[in-house]
Chains A and B, each alone.
Chain A
């Protein structure tokens, strides 16, 4: 009977085009508004590293002001000092570990007509690619030695390789980055986690790096990071060595701990690490460190904050208002057709049949509302992208799941809106209309 009910619904909608359009519009506007905010929240709260939640951990060390905790929920700085990161890299407990920060500069190809352009870079230890499971298209990462010594080697993203070398295998070729020649050792597949779980200090939703450079280049290139650097004490910084030896925090650190035993050992190691530095007069606060998996890291960084959640609730409240309107319109439409329902009852339709028929009609209205709601959501997201000027490009977009959710939300909403009107008409005494029609 469902096919019959759908054909009746189509006929009914065509029969009252203005009323039907109003109902579809009410659902579409409600769905469009709510799906815009829900999509943003969903995309913002996605964890691109969810499959490694059990083994990846962002490392925090509480080396902060003894009189005032760091201003975040964990009360520990998000990043580490350079010297602590270098020392931590010496541990052989994690399966993989990464010290890194954001950088950037102009990139060019010798003898190419392509004009130099600025790219986002990531200065990182070699395990970056293994730790985050980033596959190589060509070549691989640099050798271990490059994490401590200056090796002018570079890994390109697929997009950069496409732009510079037309997608050819560029391993062994030379590119000019920030005025120095670098040998390409690898090309990775495009990797754009959004939000950037691995670096939430520098724009949660900005694009990931286009080129990757060895961590051992700091002294050779005197690299100052792009992005946040925090400090808590007054220090005389007169040279690059002063910068590297300072208490400034600017290095992000991740460790891969595959087993509970590794985790236990690493905790002991960090405890000893801090005690050792306390003995040297550093780490003035009570001993504290943090190991947060990607999900915890996203929550700790409040990528989706209270305002975002409030906006979602408000948009759902708006959807509710739209649904109340839809209920009124459906009631008017269905009760107008009560005589027809009476005839159907006389011809053998049960109350349940009449209820189902009208509920299916509500569902069809919801489906149409959902389709238009998706278009409205896409428009809403496009507006947000435009207003955010590139900062929300990766999150202000709909995937298939969200599109299906929009349809689902619209149909569910319309079914809810149709419940009462359909029930009302199914309970109508048919004999009233049979005599008067």
Chain B
């Protein structure tokens, strides 16, 4: 599904060059649930941005579904992001002046789906996260947990094969966090590959395996209880 080989990502200012990822290699198989942990500034989010095609590596090779994304232009990268990848963020990143329905509609619009198909998918996604009755509400009218469920619904509506979650429970209380985690596990059971960045060791343990990133490199690999099929390339 995902294969990164010797990825390097550095940010340069006039005087300083910062290496966010160095010789970073990782493979994630179809259907896996991988948690990514590490101290702040270790490169977790940079890894997630590169995996989600939001940033390009300075060097190295990234294959997504066996396609070298380094060769793609912005339009093709955007299409691949839209069709194959779903995002869940710590801050939910819902658009505040759009209703829940319209928020979930955003990725479907960019895919060019017809109105009827979009409506069907949005209603189904809202039903999956238990918010069908709140379709017309604005994000600000919901609790944090509900907003994160909307963000998950937005990701689900596009039927992605690959879900990237950046501290999805970071802004939630423990009860809400548990609900969201259960929802992610449920989604994974249905075949969606999930990579989740988290600071919470309990949540990390619930994944199939945990990747630890330190100083921009994979520091450790722990196999979880279930299907641990990934390997460091």
B54 touches A437 (CB 8 A): no
Q: Please measure, in the bound complex, the distance between the C-alpha atom of A177 and the C-alpha atom of B87, giving whole angstroms.
A: 88
B185 at interface (Cβ–Cβ under 8 A)? Answer: no
Chain B residues with CB under 8 Å of A349's CB are 78, 82, 110
Q: A298 to nearest B CB, angstroms?
A: 53
Stretch at the interface among A241-249, A306-314, A428-436: A428-436
A346 touches B87 (CB 8 A): yes
Checking B93, B95, B111 against A348 with a beta-carbon cut-off of 8 angstroms, the contacting residue is: B111
Which partner residue on chain A sits nearest B49 by CB separation?
A431
A351 touches B74 (CB 8 A): yes
Chain A residues with CB under 8 Å of B81's CB are 346-348
Q: A330 to nearest B CB, angstroms?
A: 18
- Interface majority SS (helix, strand, loop, mixed), chain A: helix
The number of A-B residue pairs with CB atoms under 8 Å apart is 77
A350 touches B78 (CB 8 A): yes
Chain A residues with CB under 8 Å of B112's CB are 1
Checking A344, A350, A436 against B106 with a beta-carbon cut-off of 8 angstroms, the contacting residue is: A344
A1 touches B95 (CB 8 A): no
B168 at interface (Cβ–Cβ under 8 A)? Answer: no
With contacts A346-B81, A347-B87 taken as known, whether A435 is within 8 angstroms of B110 at the C-beta atoms is: no
Q: B227 to nearest A CB, angstroms?
A: 28
B107 touches A348 (CB 8 A): yes
A4 at interface (Cβ–Cβ under 8 A)? Answer: yes
A347 touches B154 (CB 8 A): yes
Chain A residues with CB under 8 Å of B154's CB are 347
A345 touches B54 (CB 8 A): yes
Chain B residues with CB under 8 Å of A431's CB are 45, 49, 54-55
Which partner residue on chain A sits nearest B46 by CB separation?
A431
Chain A residues with CB under 8 Å of B52's CB are 346
A437 touches B93 (CB 8 A): yes
Chain A residues with CB under 8 Å of B95's CB are 340, 343
A11 touches B75 (CB 8 A): no
Interface residue range, chain B: 20 to 34
Q: A391 to nearest B CB, angstroms?
A: 53
Chain A residues with CB under 8 Å of B89's CB are 434-435, 437
Chain B residues with CB under 8 Å of A343's CB are 93-95, 106
B79 at interface (Cβ–Cβ under 8 A)? Answer: yes
B83 at interface (Cβ–Cβ under 8 A)? Answer: yes
A348 touches B75 (CB 8 A): no
B93 touches A346 (CB 8 A): yes
Chain A residues with CB under 8 Å of B178's CB are none
Q: B3 to nearest A CB, angstroms?
A: 21
Checking A1, A351, A436 against B109 with a beta-carbon cut-off of 8 angstroms, the contacting residue is: A1
With contacts A431-B49, A437-B91 taken as known, whether A353 is within 8 angstroms of B55 at the C-beta atoms is: no
B79 touches A348 (CB 8 A): yes
Q: A189 to nearest B CB, angstroms?
A: 54
Q: B154 to nearest A CB, angstroms?
A: 7
With contacts A430-B54, A434-B93 taken as known, whether A348 is within 8 angstroms of B83 at the C-beta atoms is: yes
Q: Please measure, in the bound complex, the distance between the C-alpha atom of A429 and the C-alpha atom of B49, giving whole angstroms.
A: 11
B97 at interface (Cβ–Cβ under 8 A)? Answer: yes
B54 touches A434 (CB 8 A): yes
B32 at interface (Cβ–Cβ under 8 A)? Answer: no
Q: B134 to nearest A CB, angstroms?
A: 19
0/1 interface trace, chain B 83-121, chain A, CB 8 Å (1 if under): 100010111011101100000001101111000000000
Chain A residues with CB under 8 Å of B111's CB are 348
A348 touches B97 (CB 8 A): no
Taking each of B79, B98, B110, B154, which has the highest tally of chain A beta carbons within 10 Å of its own beta carbon? B110
Chain B residues with CB under 8 Å of A345's CB are 54, 78
B97 touches A11 (CB 8 A): yes
A435 touches B45 (CB 8 A): yes
Q: B158 to nearest A CB, angstroms?
A: 8
User: B residues bordering A, Cβ < 8 Å?
Assistant: 45, 49, 52, 54-55, 74-75, 78-79, 81-83, 87, 89-91, 93-95, 97-98, 106-107, 109-112, 154, 158, 166
User: A residues bordering B, Cβ < 8 Å?
Assistant: 1, 4, 11-12, 15, 339-340, 342-353, 429-431, 434-437
A-B contact pairs, 5 of them (CB 8 A): A345-B78, A347-B82, A348-B82, A349-B82, A350-B110
| 4 further interface pairs, Cβ-Cβ under 8 Å (given A339-B93, A343-B106, A431-B54) | A344-B106, A346-B54, A348-B110, A348-B158
